[in-house]
Structure formats: structure tokens, C-alpha cells
């Protein structure tokens, strides 16, 4: 048995182990890592499964970046080694073919045709987003309604596509809403993070941005979602090499949004940020990312749904989720997940101590609320001076209205 056969046999052995223990996240992550070097497309499938069954988001982002690198290597194989045998002689002196510009163009085209980004089809829609009625109403009137009526939009000279910036405190479900928008539109979904784009090689990050839009156009209708957008689309300021890199990234993004090289028909650009005031103004000008929606902490109905979902299938008694919801005003979705995880851990420890099952109770949930400081508080403190002294182009109208309604200064 040669080395390749042996390696393939080992892959199948691990595959059988994964099939026998499908919930083993560590084993499945190791399997993805193994496949990255041998079969990137199979690795992509396993990576989606790893993410779907609760794989650590940070590990998912890292593996996604490694998958993109593996696909790049597959589409651009390394040149022959220096000690490789010379070309075969054909009657005269051996000649090394010199590539012509046409050959190089064909190679670039072949490399560009390789799909580097996984476009998924989200099964969720905005109907699956509990509560947040005001956010959904704003999304529908300013963004989704025209997209759901393409014939009417065409009559008014509007092309399919659009862009939207979601902003608000961290942990309030902006990524989930982006997936739900794609589901509402029946569109493919490409999730992009800064880790997916950054490279130590000059020009590679710009090529990665190009590839995102190229693959989205090929998969249209498609939603591109850029998370933590302020880290990528931050203000271009004068300074050192880091600022120069930022200018190049933003410039490339501007070109893609403007459709300089190719039209963006059927491509919807969504971005999320906790710091909208740091976004480069050129990205926010009319015709680019000119629409915004504020994603606030979940309302009472959404909080109750989040707590109910987190306790589902767990040893919980008759927990009054409405009472927990009323006691967690201002909590983000991430805060509520942390709260339920903490209470479940406490119940588990007590169960082990007593030697019997101790379910989660309403009193235990309410007692734990006092130990959790809402993470949204610091965000509202941070945004206050921006509203007071910053330049506002209308982005913060919703936020100002919310603060007035809540009696915030």
C-alpha cells in the first residue's frame, strides 16, 4: 500500500469514528483539520456540520480562514522544485516554454473561477426572530419591501440589490437577523469576518475582498454579511503602514460596492458594527451603505423566548420565563445566554452534591440576575458623547428616539 492509499485509509477510519460519535466536537474539529490538507471541499462540508452542532465560533472562523487558504493552494499549485528533472528532450535542446500574456490571463481566469467562500441557504426568516417588532418593521419598510417586489422596483428603475448597516450594542443578534434577512429573500448567505480577509502578504486581503463579491455574484441572489465592520471599514487616516493597509482595504471595498468591475445585481450587502461612528464616511455616502437599522437589546417577548429556548430540554422545573424576562430589562441575548448557563451549572453542582437531580427554578434564575451586569450598559455610556458632540448624518435618529423613550440622558 502506497502513502496516498494509507492516508486515504486513515481518513476513512476517522470518518467512521465521527459517524459513530457525531456530537464529539473535538473529534469533528480534528477531522476538519485532517481534510484541509487532503480534500478541501469535503472539509467545507464537515466545517458546516461542526458549526451547526455548536462548534466554538472562534474555531469556526479560524478553520474557515484555513479552508480559504487550502482552496487558494489548490487553485494555484506551487511551482516545480529547483531539483525537479529537466523537461524531456524532443530531438533538440530542451526548451522551457515561456508563458505568453494570453497564457497568464487563462491561468488567472482559472484561479479566479475557484469558489473560495461557502454560500449557505439559511432556513430561518424574520418570522423566527422573537419580539423586536420595531426593528422588523423598520427593516421591512426601508429595506425588504422594495426587494420583495422586484417588478414594481423595476418599473421605477431600481435594480435588485441593496446595502444595509446594522448597529447597536454587542450580543443583540445582528448576525442572526442577517441570516433571517437572507432567508426572507430566499438568497444565499456568505458570512465574512476580519480573520477571513487579513493576510500578511501585500495585496492578498484585497484579492480576498474581490473573491467575496465574485462568488456572491455567481451565487446571486446572495447576501454578503460583514461582521465587526468597523474593523475593516474604519476611517482612513494618515499614519503608518497599518493606516496604509486600511486605506487599501477600504478602497477595494468601495470599488466592489460601486460595481466598478462587475455589476452587483442580486447582491445584497449587510454589515454589522458596534461602533458606527468609526465607519469611513466614504462607505456611508448615498448609493453605497446608505441605510441603517438600530438593533437594540431584546424586548420582553424576545427575552422570554431566549430564556425558554436556552432551558428547553434541560432539567428545569416550571420556570416563569415572563418573570425572568421582566427582571432582565436591558440584557442582551448574550447576557441572557450567560445567565441561563450560570444557573444550569449551579444546578448541576448542587445535583452532584446531593446525589439527586436538582432542577432549575424561577427563584434560582431571579437570584442569579443580580450577579450579571448587562453588557449593553457600557455601550450606551460609550455612545452618549458621540450623540452629544459628534457629527450626525441621521444615522442615530432611532437611537435618539429610544433614549428619549427610556428616559436616558
In angstroms, rounded to a whole number, what is the distance separating the alpha carbons of residues 93 and 322? 85
CATH 3.40.50.300 in the chain, residue ranges: 126-294
CATH numeric code, 300-369? 1.10.8.60
CATH numeric code, 1-75? 1.25.40
CATH 1.25.40 in the chain, residue ranges: 1-75
- pLDDT for the residue numbered 236: 66
- pLDDT for the residue numbered 238: 45
Contact criterion met (CB below 8 Å) for 228 and 193: yes
- pLDDT for the residue numbered 363: 93
| Sign of the torsion formed by the C-alpha atoms of 234, 206, 195 and 289 | positive
pLDDT in tens, the chain (409 residues): 444 444 566 677 778 878 877 778 778 888 888 888 788 888 888 888 888 787 777 677 778 777 777 776 666 555 554 444 444 443 433 333 444 433 433 344 334 444 568 788 888 888 888 777 888 888 887 778 777 777 777 777 766 678 889 999 988 889 999 999 999 888 899 998 877 787 777 788 888 888 999 999 988 889 999 988 887 777 766 444 445 667 788 888 888 888 766 777 888 899 999 988 888 888 888 878 888 889 999 989 899 999 998 898 888 878 999 999 999 999 999 999 999 999 999 999 999 998 888 899 999 999 999 888 898 988 998 888 888 887 777 788 888 888 888 777 6
Check residue 283 and report its DSSP letter.
G
Contacts of 390 (CB under 8 A, 6+ apart): 277
Name the strand (E) or helix (H) holding 288: none
- pLDDT for the residue numbered 237: 61
Name which of 339, 370, 374, 309 is nearest 172 in CA terms.
Answer: 374
- Distance linking the first and last C-alpha atoms of the chain: 74
Name the strand (E) or helix (H) holding 299: none
**The listed CATH number (3.40.1400.10, 3.40.50.300, 3.20.20.70, 3.40.50.2000) that belongs to domain 126-294:** 3.40.50.300
CATH 1.10.8.60 in the chain, residue ranges: 300-369
- pLDDT for the residue numbered 251: 86
Helices (H), 76-126: 101-113
Q: How far is CA 73 from each of CA 67, 106, 288, rounded to the nearest angstrom?
A: 10, 17, 33
How many residues in the chain?
409
Q: Determine if the pTM surpasses 0.75.
A: no
Amino acid at each position: 500500500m502506497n502513502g496516498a492509499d494509507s492516508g486515504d485509509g486513515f481518513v476513512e477510519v476517522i470518518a467512521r469514528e465521527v459517524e459513530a460519535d457525531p456530537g464529539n466536537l473535538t473529534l469533528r474539529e480534528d477531522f476538519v483539520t485532517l481534510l484541509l490538507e487532503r480534500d478541501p471541499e469535503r472539509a467545507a462540508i464537515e466545517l458546516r456540520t461542526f458549526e451547526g452542532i455548536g462548534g466554538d465560533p472562534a474555531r469556526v472562523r479560524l478553520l474557515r480562514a484555513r479552508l480559504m487558504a487550502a482552496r487558494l493552494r489548490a487553485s494555484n499549485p506551487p511551482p516545480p522544485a529547483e531539483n525537479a528533472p529537466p523537461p524531456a528532450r524532443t530531438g533538440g535542446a530542451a526548451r522551457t516554454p515561456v508563458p505568453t500574456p494570453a497564457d497568464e490571463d487563462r491561468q488567472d481566469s482559472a484561479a479566479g473561477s475557484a469558489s473560495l467562500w461557502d454560500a449557505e441557504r439559511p432556513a430561518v426568516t424574520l418570522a423566527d426572530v422573537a419580539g423586536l417588532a420595531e426593528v422588523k418593521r423598520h427593516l421591512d419598510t426601508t429595506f425588504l419591501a422594495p426587494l420583495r417586489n422586484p417588478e414594481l422596483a423595476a418599473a421605477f428603475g431600481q435594480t435588485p440589490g441593496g446595502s444595509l448597516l446594522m448597529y447597536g450594542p454587542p450580543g443583540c443578534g445582528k448576525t442572526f437577523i442577517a441570516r433571517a434577512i437572507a432567508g426572507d429573500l430566499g438568497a444565499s448567505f456568505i458570512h465574512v469576518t476580519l480573520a477571513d480577509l487579513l493576510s500578511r502578504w501585500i495585496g492578498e486581503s484585497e484579492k480576498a475582498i474581490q473573491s467575496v463579491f465574485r462568488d456572491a455574484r455567481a451565487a446571486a441572489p446572495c447576501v454578503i454579511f460583514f461582521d465587526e465592520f468597523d474593523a475593516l471599514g474604519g476611517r482612513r487616516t494618515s499614519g503608518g503602514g497599518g493606516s496604509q493597509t486600511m486605506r487599501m482595504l477600504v478602497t477595494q471595498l468601495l470599488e466592489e460596492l460601486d460595481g466598478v468591475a462587475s455589476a452587483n445585481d442580486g447582491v445584497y450587502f449587510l454589515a454589522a458594527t458596534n461602533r458606527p461612528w468609526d465607519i469611513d464616511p466614504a462607505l456611508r455616502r448615498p448609493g453605497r451603505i446608505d441605510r441603517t437599522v438600530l438593533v437594540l437589546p431584546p424586548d420582553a417577548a424576545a427575552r422570554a423566548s431566549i430564556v425558554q429556548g436556552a432551558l428547553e430540554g434541560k432539567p428545569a422545573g416550571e420556570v416563569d420565563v415572563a418573570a425572568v424576562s421582566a427582571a432582565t430589562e436591558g440584557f442582551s441575548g448574550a447576557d441572557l445566554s450567560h445567565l441561563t448557563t450560570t444557573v444550569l451549572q449551579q444546578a448541576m453542582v448542587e445535583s452532584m452534591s446531593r446525589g439527586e437531580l436538582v432542577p432549575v427554578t424561577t427563584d434560582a434564575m431571579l437570584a442569579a440576575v443580580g450577579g450579571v451586569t448587562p453588557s449593553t450598559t457600557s455601550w450606551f455610556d460609550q455612545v452618549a458623547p458621540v450623540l452629544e458632540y459628534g457629527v450626525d448624518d441621521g444615522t442615530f435618529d432611532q437611537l435618539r428616539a429610544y433614549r428619549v423613550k427610556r428616559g436616558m440622558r
